[in-house]
Amino acid sequence: MVRALSFLAIVAGLGLAAGICRAQVDGMDLKAAYIFNFAMFTTWPDAAGKGPLFVCTNPDNPLWPGLSALNGRPVNGRPWTVTELARPKAARCDIAVLARTMERPAALAAGVLVVRDGAGGKAAITLVEDDEHIRFDVDTQEAARNGLRLSSHLLRLARNVL
């Protein structure tokens, strides 16, 4: 009887701890982590695959703090560097993170992985909130148009692959 009560107490404690851990991860930080992982499973054209990995978005994008917190972390040997989409620190962006309602800038060149936070326009990867979970859809044709290859490991995890 004492063992059974001890077991129930441990299980209840683990359930409480899991709820606390889940609450500690902000949804925007989790989306930023998704985008970081998308970069790990993306192959850029040869010319774009050197030097820092420039992640371009707007400072008013709710994802800006989470993306910026990853600055300096290596992505396949390239340091993650967040910069403003309107005034990038480099001549090009490797990843453009767009808010749901933001139009795709015409100035984006080939070789850019476009990630959109919510359905609303063309993107190689679209983050979606589905039943209180963050999921993503992949448009392989859009990625190919931009000269990008997405790993089959990433495609297997997608909610939808177009």
- Measured CA to CA, the distance from residue 94 to residue 11 in angstroms comes to 45
pLDDT at 15 > cutoff 70: no
pTM: 0.79
pLDDT score, position 8: 31
Which of 6-15, 22-31, 32-41, 68-77 comes out lowest in average pLDDT?
A: 6-15
Q: What is the pLDDT of residues 27-40, one digit of tens each?
A: 889 999 999 999 99
